[in-house]
Structure 1
Amino acid sequence: MPQQSEATVNPGPRDRATHTPVTHDPATHDPATHDLVIRRAHVFDGHRALDGLYDIGVDGTEITAVSAEPLRGGTEVDAAGGWVVPGLIDTHVHFYDVHAVTDADSMRAFEERDRPGRLGLFLDHGVTTVKSVGDPTDGILDTRDRIAAGTLRGPRLLATGAGITGREGHPAATIFKGNPWARARWAAEVDGVRHIRDLVHRLADRRVDAIKLLSEGACAHSGGPAYLWRNPAFPDAVELERLPLDVLRAGIEAAHERGLRVTVHTAQQAAAREAVEAGADGLEHGVTVEPLTDDSLLELMRAHDVTYTPTLWVDDAHPDARANLRKVAEAGVRLALGSDTFSGRGLFGANTLEEAELMVAAGLSPAQVLAAGTSGAARACVRPDLGAVAPGKRADLLLLDADPTADIGALRALRMVFLDGGLTVDKR
């Protein structure tokens, strides 16, 4: 790869740092001039690397041209042979601090003191969309709406609200065992079919972006009827109740009635099969605590068009997690990148990059992982406007100094981040 020179930005009529829109007089605006042009870039378009160098034209929030021929822009960025890729999408995060929030006052303190900086960390690492799959419903939906309204700076936020689990299931009886205030808000414990159906419809009424169910929790089967959850941070194993099959199926059916996708937290093959057969659209974690030996499960996932999110950032300690991911990928099952990032370990945004690197370490190619973190993640989130460098897509773009299809570590060589066509991070 030839040595890269610094990008040159030619100021134009749009304030990219503040997302201030520009109003063009139709009588004077040249339609051949784009609001923004990123010039002479290699491109990974969300699926593959394109041959040659391209100019990318952006108008407003949308990509309007990807051209091998030169384009003109009111604002121009000289990529100087760098790489443009879609903004990264992390489909599995937990944003609120489960350790710090124990009552209404600590919740407000977190939102006032910590929320802005932690949202900014995602953007600083090139993560332009995140999906929360288990946060307090009121708080995370308020955060989502503030970002969408432009009163809070952060990545595009999608949210399921509280994760739905069985009575005394994970994480209610594990993470939140000693925190009843948070337990009532982070984990929605259900007692039966009617209860879960009513809860799913209430969440749908609040315009959640998807539904998250927890089947058996992050627990290993002990060889008997009990399911045990073990974590080094907790002194004792916790016996959990599984989400009954009829309740699991009812939750999925209710969500589908409202046009919402359902992703299910599993750890074992039996639970994964149960979720897929019940109609789940995605598996969070998938199979982590044992080797994936059931080839018919792979065929079932592929036949049902299920998305597998491996979350190696938390599950890499399980000796079978990497091999299971490799087997799933080789079988042609759809993949999405999701880190399971949470407060108290690592750094938001940086954890997403580590997830990408762990997926490569598991045996996937950089291009496969890039696709999982862009177009694959967008598909899992039912956001066809995201995850690709192509006309008609949202202008969520990263400009990198090195080739991420050769080395996934190039995601750390981040020069610029564009969100909805606005320059939101500039590291030159």
Structure 2
Amino acid sequence: MAHEHEVSTRAEVRDPATYDLVIRRAHLFDGHRAHAGLYDIAVSGADIAAVSAEPLRGRTEVDAAEGWVMPGLIDTHIHFYDVHGVSDPESMRTFEEDDLPGRLGLFLRHGITTIKSVGDPTGGILETRAKIAEGTLQGPRLLATGCGITGRDGHPAATVFGGNPWARARFTAEIDSAQQMRDLVHDLADRNVDAIKLLSEGACAHPGSPKYVWHNAAFPDAVELARLPLDVLRAGIETGHERDLRVTVHTTQQVAAREAIEAGADGLEHGVTVEPIADDALVELMREHDITYTPTLWAHDATHPDIRGNVKKVADAGVRIALGSDTFSGRGVFGANTLDEAELMVAAGMTPLQSLVAGTSGAARQCARPDLGTVAPGKRADLIVLTADPTQDIGNLRELSATILNGEVVVDERGPRPRRTFP
């Protein structure tokens, strides 16, 4: 794999002055690969200023004690608002006042410095993003698509929110035509969303699609879904690209994945979960179109026996993988779920290094944020310090010593953290 940046020696560090922050004597995973030896990482303001094999000076110094420094983790697929508990203006306000700040803090305490919301109420999630950006809320960098776009009576409108009409109208947008799709994507772009998410298997009324029954142990009812009409899917992707936004598509079947790729999608959310990937040409199509594949094992591993084999198959073929947990309320712990996802990717057959790339530079690429996910001069200083080597044991992501966001130490912890193991 080619890399844009290499670490520096002392002679290559132009400014010998004291930096705002220096992490001292650390092993380094830079978002692409591990480097031999120990390094100092210097930060000026919110950005990485130098990575040096020789000592640097900082006004604030963090002694890594020969532990590991790597980019903060990026979870590219989360549902942040409480899909169970938000059902009217009062419960929405209660969630935002009582629960939201704590959830944000959980991500930081687990070393996740960027999250991407892919289906939350547009107004609420964009207001939360603004508060984090202005500093009135502390939390990871928040990227957001706003509501997920689906067909009439599609997923998650008729599934997750089938009994919650107030939330259904805010967490999702149901459309009936290509023109409605174009108008909605333009509206979201005007509101400065960071990306667009479409749900392919999301229009129950569309004739001629293979049957697919949606079911999730967290919800009581199964719902039969069909794919979005191709002209509607293509209209959403093309309009997103007109507005310079990446567009990812929720799929679960091979036929839906192929259709999304051929329509121009930038990535697949979930990919293929409900059946084994038997179509080698589909995997090659992912490579040819430079698709990013987001497995979301945390949410689907227990119920879909083919999902691990599919992840290994696409990873072995060189398809780009991004870490995304599909975290939602009511199960697990925000932040810890992301670490579970990294471990599940290894359990599926990826190497620890592949999993780390998926959670850093690979995830940054999926989010169209080249300033994130890499430890190199000029990149954003979103970093984590670990006491043990994650490139050999992915469980060592739980051995967090410090989280640094925008050049500021926001979490400083010592001691081991609990591990989970996956068969």
The answer, yes or no, to whether TM exceeds 0.5 is yes
The question of 1:336 aligning with 2:284 is answered no
| Other-structure match for 1:301 | 286
The question of 1:397 aligning with 2:358 is answered no
The correspondence of residues 213-224 of structure 1 with structure 2, limited to 5 A, is 213-217=198-202
Once the 2 structures are TM-superposed, how far is the Cα of residue 76 of structure 1 from its aligned partner?
A: 1.4
Residues 35-81 of structure 1, C-alpha deviations (whole Å, 9 max, x = no match):
11111100000000011000101000000100001111111122110
The CA distance in 1 between the partners of 2:203 and 2:37, in whole Å, is: 46
- In 2, are the aligned partners of 1:218 and 1:229 still within 8 Å (CA)? no
- In 1, are the aligned partners of 2:19 and 2:57 still within 8 Å (CA)? yes
Once the 2 structures are TM-superposed, how far is the Cα of residue 240 of structure 1 from its aligned partner?
A: 2.4
Q: Residue type matched to 1:304 in 2?
A: H
- In 2, are the aligned partners of 1:217 and 1:229 still within 8 Å (CA)? no
The question of 1:285 aligning with 2:267 is answered no
Q: Residue type matched to 2:325 in 1?
A: S
Secondary structure in structure 2 of the residue aligned to 1:389: coil
The CA distance in 2 between the partners of 1:145 and 1:225, in whole Å, is: 41
| Other-structure match for 2:75 | 90
| Other-structure match for 1:9 | none
Pairwise CA RMSD: 1.5
The CA distance in 1 between the partners of 2:320 and 2:81, in whole Å, is: 29
- In 1, are the aligned partners of 2:383 and 2:403 still within 8 Å (CA)? yes
Instruction: Work out which of the residue numbers 61, 73, 93 in structure 2 matches 1:76.
Output: 61
Secondary structure in structure 2 of the residue aligned to 1:92: strand
Instruction: Work out which of the residue numbers 316, 341, 349 in structure 2 matches 1:363.
Output: 349
Q: Residue type matched to 1:264 in 2?
A: V
| Other-structure match for 1:417 | 403
Secondary structure in structure 2 of the residue aligned to 1:359: helix
Higher alpha-carbon deviation: 382-391 or 238-247: 238-247
Relative to the length of structure 2, the TM-score reads 0.92
The CA distance in 2 between the partners of 1:118 and 1:282, in whole Å, is: 27
- In 2, are the aligned partners of 1:218 and 1:266 still within 8 Å (CA)? no
Q: Residue type matched to 2:408 in 1?
A: G
| Other-structure match for 2:142 | 157
Aligned length: 396
Instruction: Work out which of the residue numbers 89, 92, 99 in structure 2 matches 1:104.
Output: 89
The CA distance in 1 between the partners of 2:76 and 2:320, in whole Å, is: 13
Residues 389-417 of structure 1, C-alpha deviations (whole Å, 9 max, x = no match):
10001101100000000100100000000
Identify unmatched segments of 5+ residues in structure 1.
Answer: 1-29
Once the 2 structures are TM-superposed, how far is the Cα of residue 131 of structure 1 from its aligned partner?
A: 0.2
Q: Residue type matched to 1:213 in 2?
A: L
The CA distance in 2 between the partners of 1:260 and 1:236, in whole Å, is: 34
Instruction: Work out which of the residue numbers 41, 46, 49 in structure 2 matches 1:61.
Output: 46
Instruction: Work out which of the residue numbers 367, 374, 390 in structure 2 matches 1:381.
Output: 367
The CA distance in 1 between the partners of 2:216 and 2:75, in whole Å, is: 24
Secondary structure in structure 2 of the residue aligned to 1:51: strand
Instruction: Work out which of the residue numbers 112, 120, 126 in structure 2 matches 1:127.
Output: 112
Secondary structure in structure 2 of the residue aligned to 1:52: strand
The CA distance in 1 between the partners of 2:411 and 2:369, in whole Å, is: 23
Sequence identity (%): 76
Relative to the length of structure 1, the TM-score reads 0.91
Secondary structure in structure 1 of the residue aligned to 2:153: coil
Q: Residue type matched to 2:326 in 1?
A: D
Q: Residue type matched to 1:276 in 2?
A: I
Once the 2 structures are TM-superposed, how far is the Cα of residue 239 of structure 1 from its aligned partner?
A: 2.3
| Other-structure match for 1:25 | none
Once the 2 structures are TM-superposed, how far is the Cα of residue 243 of structure 1 from its aligned partner?
A: 1.1
- In 2, are the aligned partners of 1:124 and 1:349 still within 8 Å (CA)? yes
The CA distance in 2 between the partners of 1:186 and 1:245, in whole Å, is: 23
- In 2, are the aligned partners of 1:218 and 1:267 still within 8 Å (CA)? no
The CA distance in 1 between the partners of 2:223 and 2:93, in whole Å, is: 30
- In 2, are the aligned partners of 1:166 and 1:241 still within 8 Å (CA)? no
